[in-house]
Amino acid sequence: MSICRSRVVPPLSFSIICKIVLLGAIGCSTQILVYIGIDYSSPTFASAIGNLVPAFTFMLAVTFRMEKLAPKSRSSNAKVIGSIISIAGAFVLTFYKGPSIMNSYTHLSSPLHETIGFLKSEDSSWAIAGILLTAAYFLASLWYILQQVHILKVFPDELTLVLFYSITATIISTTVALLAVPNASAWKIGLNLSLISIVSSGIMGKLISNLVYAWSLRLKGPVYVTSFKPLQIVISVALGVMFLGDTLHVGSIIGAIIISIGLYGVMWGKVTEQIEEVVGGLDSPSTENLPLLQSWRTETFENKTNINV
């Protein structure tokens, strides 16, 4: 039995291909700027600056009128406050350690000792890294907006989008890498952990994640998707404790709790906003903008109503 597609995908036009190529250029530029910024600073500093992505995305979404910002609306206030709380929790988790929980024998320093030393660096490279990383994560927010507004709304085919995006990013990154590292011996990769890391990051970190991003952006929008970004720090801390033997600190627990509260606020605001749109609408609610389960229930109810009539 053939499976019918729930949506009709328009033909791949030249304008859509140009937009996907532009998307690939923005995504590749973002990765290059992030790697350069990490080289000038540290992964911790890059993770901290990366928490600005939800804020940048929300501002761009309001600018492009993708999100409604009503001061008297509970849903708008919940999304704004939830985003701020999530970003604050990510900064707490990044900069505040506190006493250790699992390895109590570890030497305990002042909770802000490492943060103070981290921020006292007099090297100008930290300022350069801050500028590069801020520009990179602004481009990342623009990447989400461009994908949602200009591509997925007119061409809702995630597989084709990710295919052309990956081809474009591969061509650009290969050209930049060959120009930056012309030495052929530096490109030799043996059958070791480096090869496994490269392959796994390409499959899991790029292919699958881009498919999930595209699918989620089409369903829920960029603000909802980027609101989960601070959660990656919580996951990395948990994996580090489980597999790398890292020490679990009180700051990690506090930051994770704050991030969870912020994410709940954003999700509650999005759901409340959708319910208000459905209740305020005169016609039958469109299942395109409803949550998955609610959309399925609406379609089932309409089918039963049509049968009874």
CA–CA separation, 166 vs 161, rounded Å?
9
Do residues 176 and 32 touch, judged by C-beta distance below 8 A?
yes
Nearest C-alpha neighbor of 123 from the set 45, 48, 35: 45
CA–CA separation, 80 vs 84, rounded Å?
6
DSSP H helical ranges for the chain: 14-40, 43-50, 53-63, 74-95, 113-119, 125-146, 158-180, 193-200, 209-220, 222-226, 231-243, 250-280, 292-308
DSSP string for residues in 81-109: HHHHHHHHHHHHHHH---SBSS-TTSPP-
Do residues 67 and 223 touch, judged by C-beta distance below 8 A?
yes
CA–CA separation, 82 vs 67, rounded Å?
15
Structure tokens at 9: 């995908």
The tens-digit pLDDT sequence of the chain (309 residues) is: 444 445 566 778 888 888 888 988 998 899 889 888 888 877 767 777 787 788 888 888 888 877 777 777 888 888 888 888 888 887 787 777 778 776 544 444 444 444 444 444 445 677 788 888 889 989 999 998 888 777 888 888 888 888 888 888 889 888 988 888 888 787 887 788 878 888 888 888 778 888 888 888 888 888 888 888 877 777 877 877 787 777 777 877 888 888 888 888 888 887 787 777 777 654 544 444 445 444 444 445 455 455 554
